[in-house]
Chain A
Amino acid sequence: MPTALLRMSQVSKSFGATRALADVSLEARGGEVLALIGENGAGKSTLMKILSGAVSPDRGEMVLAGGPFSPRGPHAARLAGVAMIYQELNLAPDLSVVENVMLGQESRRCGVVRRADERQRVREALKQLDRTDLPLDVPVGQLSVADQQVVEIARALVTDAKVIVFDEPTSSLTRHDVQNLFRAIVRLKQSGIAIIYISHFLEEIRQIADRFVVLRDGSVAGSGPLAGATEADIVSLMVGRKVDELFPSVPHARGEVLLSLEGLSGRRAPRGATLELHRGEILGLSGLVGAGRTELLRCLMALDPVRDGRVRIAGLEPRRTPHARIRAGLGLVSEDRKTEGLAQRESIVDNMTYSRLQPYSRLGWLNLGRRRAAVEDWMRKLNVKARSSEQLVEHLSGGNQQKVAIARVMHQDADVLLLDEPTRGIDVGTKAEIYRLMAELVAQGKAVIFVSSYFTELLAVCDRVGVMSRGELREIRPASEWTSESILSCALGVDGRT
């Protein structure tokens, strides 16, 4: 019977009026992988922050290996034996593998680094992970993401971590690398370390985890051994409502062709993408990370260099500049709200009207009052929650930011909306609102390309779904003819068409 290495009991945390965690209790046992499952906004990241010492809980207690655990900061947590492997890796790209692993805990004598000793310790850690092939002296910036992750795990091993928390570790890995990571996790587990594995890929969790805890709205919605739980059980615990409420249906009919691509090719991806998009249609784009879906949208908007191919919008061929594409009726919602999609430090009004200021301008002067009124109208329509239209976007929640981003392309009166992962990082309620919005837009005769990595929503929301793999648009079929499995095997290129 494995022992509980880390126990959290009745942990609660509020930020202002928002209750992020309410009486959460869980225990991570040595030699076991505990999966922490939950939608975005369920409280996973707050829990992580508490474990890492970045924030301290309002109530509740934590026990690590028999002693009280209340870290005062990330470094203290690390020293106590809790290591975090974040989605965005924490490495110094210019330092070598050895230097990164030993950072902050260098072997030293009188301030001078004992290099031989360090190499020995790093080698041991890598041996434990069965990755002795990793070069020790290469700057980690030159390694693949998968190898960088190994460096972070090795760092945790060198600090003698008792508990290692993985936060969505596979989100940027290839299939092959995922299997390597899982092998490493199994080895960690065998050496008696407790693993907390955060993810919402259920297939992965089933493969690697022993037990699960589902968080919803800041509390534990359910937990138990994975062996006895079906996927449907877990999903209903996560969502907490029936699936048809989540995906509202608005009837819409398919009209004439609005957008057509012929052999569109970019620098690396897409490669020869050909498709037709009709008015009144939602086209889903699926594929693994790096399959070229984002690149396809960016080439469409002429944001990335186009090598070859034609783009026709309502029969016309606009020039290859983002400006011309916007005027032709395209509108892109970037997958990256933080750095590209929105100007975080500007107001809602500014962000919403950047792409179309003509209605409010006369001889270059803006009628601010009229613009503000129009924006507030849109905020009401999309149910954007903010103090005022002048509030800075960076102070909004993820879901409200996304609504502002979508409102911008609606405000510019785009005919074809290109939505790149619009539901990533937002809560379930807002997701449902966005699905409804998309359906309402196509019911008005517009068209939507919807990129998502989440098969369930693609199959529920889209009329047709196309699957991309290695830059190629492999196949487009009506959504009813796809299943999660067939999408995945097409995305992996294992359907005999490779």
Chain B
Amino acid sequence: MGETAAKLGLARRGGDFLRNVLGPFLALVVVVGIFWIADSMQADGGRFATLRNAQNILVQSATVGVAALGMTLIIISGGIDLSAGTAMALSATALAWFLREQYSPAVSVAAGIAVGCLCGCANGMLISLLRIVPFIVTLGTMTIYLGLAKIVGDNTMVRPLPAQVPLWMKQLLSPRVEYEWMVFAPGVWLLLVMALVTAAVLRYTVFGRHVFAVGSNEATARLCGINVPLVRITVYTISGFFIGVAGLYQFTRLTVGDPTSGTGKELPIIAAVVIGGGSLSGGRGSILGTLTGALIMQVISSGCTSLRLPNPIQEIIIGCIIIAAVTIDQFRQRRQAV
């Protein structure tokens, strides 16, 4: 009896792996497949399934992807961060300001990332110490960070001279790769490395397990002696780090620090996590899922462009995908519960 149950456990585990990890991935394959076919059926098609297009898609989704790494942690821990977009713009603006003020690129980048960490840490502290729900706290800080960014930028864009922006920054997310052996832009590779590290932290460390526990059942986590406020603050600070990096990515693509460039960006970031299987009630989510979620959105918008579908249609399709992803997920949950 024991053995069969153990086998059952193994089988269930395998099934879970298929559903949870490969599920979003399959969705990505299907979406790519659909656009590939649709594109090749066009008379002047053939632009979609090219290396050039793949390079573009990856570069375009990298900024959202980096920020979504942190958002994944936050959502697994049962939180949400509505300030992600404006905090990202604040980091980018700060980075641009430091460059314009003749600081070295290294200092500027460090400052930009530090600003991101501070934003995240502030969110975490407010949530834990004031015991206000994350939605409200970050709704507030969203506007605060926007205001701060405008102060830094003196109500306009911060535009460093082209000479002040180092070459590596320009190449970080350039769709045209400097060295052919790299195939994809360095920023894409950097994102991949950070994603691997984050996934490992979630899976193999005590901290990662506590993040899941807090999101899954906070009362139990407290009962088991987990320092819930500390876990929260750490999660938001780590997320702040990723938002700082996303600010760097944003800056390298725009080459200006635009205080308002982040407004509304929190939505695709959250959407990436949700499409990737994250649950807004906490306890579930994966890094691989999130990255796939970010890619799905970019593939759709790129695919629509190559099919010459207008922007509004793209937006409607992405909206439908979000709702569909969550519906499928709920259905799956209900079936597992039986």
Contact = CB atoms under 8 A, between A and B. Distances in A.
The answer to whether A and B interact is yes
B213 interface: yes
B212 to A, nearest CB: 6
Contacts of B209: 95, 99, 103, 106, 113
B5 A134 contact: yes
A92 B221 contact: yes
Interface string A107-120: 01001110100000
Contacts of A136: 9
Contacts of B206: 106, 108, 111-113
Interface in B188-231: 204-207, 209, 212-213, 215-217, 219-226
A60 to B, nearest CB: 24
Interface in A62-114: 74-75, 78-79, 90-95, 99, 103-106, 108, 111-113
Contacts of A78: 223-225
A78 B220 CA distance: 12
Contacts of A135: 5-6, 8-10, 12-13
Given A92-B212, A99-B212, A111-B207, A104 B224 contact: yes
A7 B321 CA distance: 61
A155 B221 CA distance: 13
A420 to B, nearest CB: 23
A495 interface: no
B284 interface: yes
A113 B205 contact: yes
A74 B206 CA distance: 21
Interface stretch (A137-145, A273-281, A333-341, A389-397): A137-145
Interface residues of B, number: 32
B182 to A, nearest CB: 31
B214 to A, nearest CB: 9
A133 interface: yes
Interface string B172-191: 00000000000000000000
B42 interface: no
B223 A138 contact: no
Contact of A103 (B6, B8, B9, B213): B213
Contact of A133 (B6, B13, B207, B216): B6
Given A92-B213, A94-B216, A104 B9 contact: no
B5 A95 contact: no
Given A111-B205, A111-B207, A141-B337, A94 B225 contact: no
Interface of A: 74-75, 78-79, 90-95, 99, 103-106, 108, 111-113, 115, 132-139, 141-142, 155
27 contacts: A74-B222, A74-B223, A78-B224, A79-B225, A92-B213, A92-B221, A93-B216, A93-B283, A94-B284, A95-B209, A95-B212, A95-B283, A99-B212, A99-B213, A103-B213, A112-B205, A113-B204, A133-B2, A135-B5, A135-B8, A135-B9, A135-B10, A135-B13, A137-B10, A138-B13, A142-B12, A142-B337
Which 5 residue pairs of A and B lie closest in terms of their CB atoms, listed nearest first? A135-B9, A104-B224, A94-B283, A92-B216, A75-B225
Interface of B: 1-2, 5-6, 8-10, 12-13, 16, 204-207, 209, 212-213, 215-217, 219-226, 283-284, 336-337
